[in-house]
């Protein structure tokens, strides 16, 4: 009597190495700006980062970190602001980060092909 071995599902093996599968899922949907920045950094080496980001853009994800970018109300934002009125230097930094986020989207080929992508002001 021989035992038949099931073929290994590559998707299952790949998912075990994805950061969003290894860490607490709440990290990608946190209210804390610091935790969202951590989630963004964990996405950096993910082999599915571009596909994840493209899917999130296509679905206009309402919130969370997808493909290394933060989504808020369906738009990519450079960083999540803490509560309260922003300082002047924070507004200037946000403008610089917005340009950086646009460049990352363009490098992924998403800003030119997807008209639904908008960056929050």
Distances (CA, A) of 6 to 9, 11, 39, 118: 9, 14, 34, 45
Residue 47 — φ and ψ, nearest 5°?
A: -70, -15
Residue of 34, 70, 73 whose CA lies nearest to 52: 70
> Is 118 assigned to a binding site?
no
> Is 20 assigned to a binding site?
yes
> Is 34 assigned to a binding site?
no
> Is 78 assigned to a binding site?
no
Distance of alpha carbon 13 from alpha carbon 16, whole angstroms: 5
Distance of alpha carbon 121 from alpha carbon 34, whole angstroms: 20
Binding-site positions: 20, 43, 46, 52
Binding-site residues for [4Fe-4S] cluster sit at: 20, 43, 46, 52
């Amino acid at each position: 009597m021989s035992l038949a071995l099931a073929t290994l599902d590559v998707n299952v093996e790949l998912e075990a190495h994805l950061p969003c599968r290894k860490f607490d899922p709440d990290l990608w949907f946190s209210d804390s700006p610091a935790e969202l920045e951590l989630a963004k950094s964990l996405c950096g080496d993910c082999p599915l980062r571009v596909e994840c980001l493209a899917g999130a853009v296509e679905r206009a994800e309402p919130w969370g970190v997808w493909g290394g970018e933060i989504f808020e109300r369906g738009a990519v934002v450079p960083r999540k602001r803490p509560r309260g009125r922003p300082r002047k230097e924070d507004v200037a930094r946000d403008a610089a980060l917005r340009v950086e986020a646009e460049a990352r989207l363009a490098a992924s080929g998403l800003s030119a092909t997807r008209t639904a992508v908008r960056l929050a002001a």
